[in-house]
Amino acid sequence: MRTRNRLATTFALTAVGSMLMAAVAPETALRFHERKEVAGLSIVFGAEPEPALTEEMQFLRWRVSSLESQEAYTELSGEVAISFDGEKLATFPVRGVRGTPGSYQTRHIFTESGTYQTVLTFKKGEAEEAHTVDFDFTINPRSSLELPRRKGGGN
């Protein structure tokens, strides 16, 4: 019984700490995975929350900054195409993240685990020229975090 209470307390404190971290410093709460340079911009991609799991609300996020000034780039408009096993699933509009200049996102619930591909197509400000950048990410099965019950009552 004590072990369960300690485990529940640990999970609760971890969740509260994560929420506080996201509220205090949203730009550091997201663990970004990969960075690419396109059209004079640094584009860093990541998923939140991590680990990315099936059957959970998942945000795909892009943090965009100028290569020249290192400042957040706030004039991006675009869409992202998501593919799985080489098959295009859908295209979604990319929206800015409120309160975090230079961050853009989409949100999804993935039902199948595996490696997905994104292709972000965007324009800078009023420019007509479109640019693309691609990233891969993994969705893990939700069951990968489940703990088996102990036999014999649990202490």
Quote the percentage of the chain above a pLDDT of 70.
Answer: 75
Report residue 148: phi and psi, to 5°. Answer: -70, 150
CA 75, CA 82: separation in Å to the nearest integer? 22
CATH class of the domain whose range is 31-144: mainly beta
Quote the pLDDT of residue 62. Answer: 97
What's the pLDDT tens digit per position in 86-101? 899 999 999 999 999 9
CA 154, CA 119: separation in Å to the nearest integer? 47
Whole-number average pLDDT of the chain: 83
Mean pLDDT (whole number) for 107-133: 96
CA 63, CA 72: separation in Å to the nearest integer? 8
What's the pLDDT tens digit per position in 6-52? 544 444 444 434 443 443 334 434 444 799 999 999 999 999 998 99
Q: Domains of the chain: which residue ranges? A: 1-25, 31-144
Task: Return the residue matching tokens 């994104």.
Answer: 118
- Tally the residues of the chain: 155
Quote the pLDDT of residue 148. Answer: 73
